Amino acid sequence: MYKRRFIIKGNFFEMKSLLTFSGLLLFVFSSCEPSQSPSKELVKESPKSEFDKATYDLVTSGAENLILSYEVLLNRLLAENISKEERDEQVHESIYSKEKINQIFDNPDVIIEDDISPDFYLNEKVKDLKVSRYLSDLYLFLEKDKANSVKFDNIKTLQIKEGKEVFVIVYFESRITGVHSLESFSYEKTKRIATIKAEKKAAIWTYSIMSVNFYEMSTVNNDFNLAKAKKMI
């Protein structure tokens, strides 16, 4: 009989390995805490936040402002007087901008859960759309009317995840004012969650949307200020 020492999260645990004639007895350790499954981008474990208040405020403000830029983009695409060429340029710049000035989405594979099709409202069916398809559907399936718009409210940071990369989970409520062109369907307010990547380069923080999901369909594992944020929602 002998001892082996294991290091788990900075704490020392000792396990006695018992050798028997029938073989080696195996021990399996698991956390006593219940697990939650964060969004796919946030699966990696991360340490407790070491952001000071100024950095935290800066990063959360930048992420929340990106949601406002997303709102502005959607309303530009719905404008009555926008040409097809202008609309295509707006979409391209929001995904592929070389200067990163007008870029909102991290890459062309960003997924947005569809709140344009009536399927979610009538049948609670969720459809994943790549960002270019989502933006295209927005102006294809809303009746052309100057009253059409998208309004975001109650924008709040729920979570910051730190590791090799920094992700910010931002909650917001969205309301499409308009009628679906094929279904004559009027929209209801939806609760949404955006996963935003925050990157610091040369002392400047940049932000890009990784995904947009329905809040009800998401599991958020917050290790910074979720409890406080939930009381505000």
Summarize pLDDT for 166-189 with one digit per residue, the tens.
999 999 999 988 777 777 777 889
3-state secondary structure (DSSP) of residue 224: coil
Check residue 216 and give left, alpha or beta (phi > 0: left; psi -120 to 50: alpha): alpha
Does pLDDT of 41 surpass 80? no
134 phi and psi angles, rounded to 5 deg? -60, -45
Highest mean pLDDT, choosing among 63-72, 120-129, 200-209: 63-72
Mean pLDDT in residue range 152-157: 96
Enter the pTM of the model.
0.72
Percentage of the chain with pLDDT > 90? 43
Highest mean pLDDT, choosing among 31-35, 139-143, 229-233: 139-143
Mean pLDDT in residue range 143-160: 86
- pLDDT bin (cut points 50, 70, 90) of residue 52 is confident
CATH of domain 51-232: 3.10.450.50
- pLDDT bin (cut points 50, 70, 90) of residue 191 is very high
Q: How far apart are CA 227 and CA 135, in angstroms?
A: 33
Amino acid at 2: Y
- pLDDT bin (cut points 50, 70, 90) of residue 28 is very low
Amino acid at 168: V
pLDDT at 49 (0 to 100): 55
Averaged pLDDT score across all residues of the chain: 75
- pLDDT bin (cut points 50, 70, 90) of residue 2 is very low
pLDDT at 206 (0 to 100): 93
- DSSP H/E element including 91: helix 84-96
pLDDT at 196 (0 to 100): 97
Q: Strands, DSSP E only, in the chain? A: 2-8, 11-17, 19-20, 23-24, 111-113, 128-130, 149-162, 166-177, 190-201, 204-214
pLDDT at 30 (0 to 100): 35
Highest mean pLDDT, choosing among 100-104, 181-185, 198-202: 198-202
3-state secondary structure (DSSP) of residue 220: coil
pLDDT at 177 (0 to 100): 86
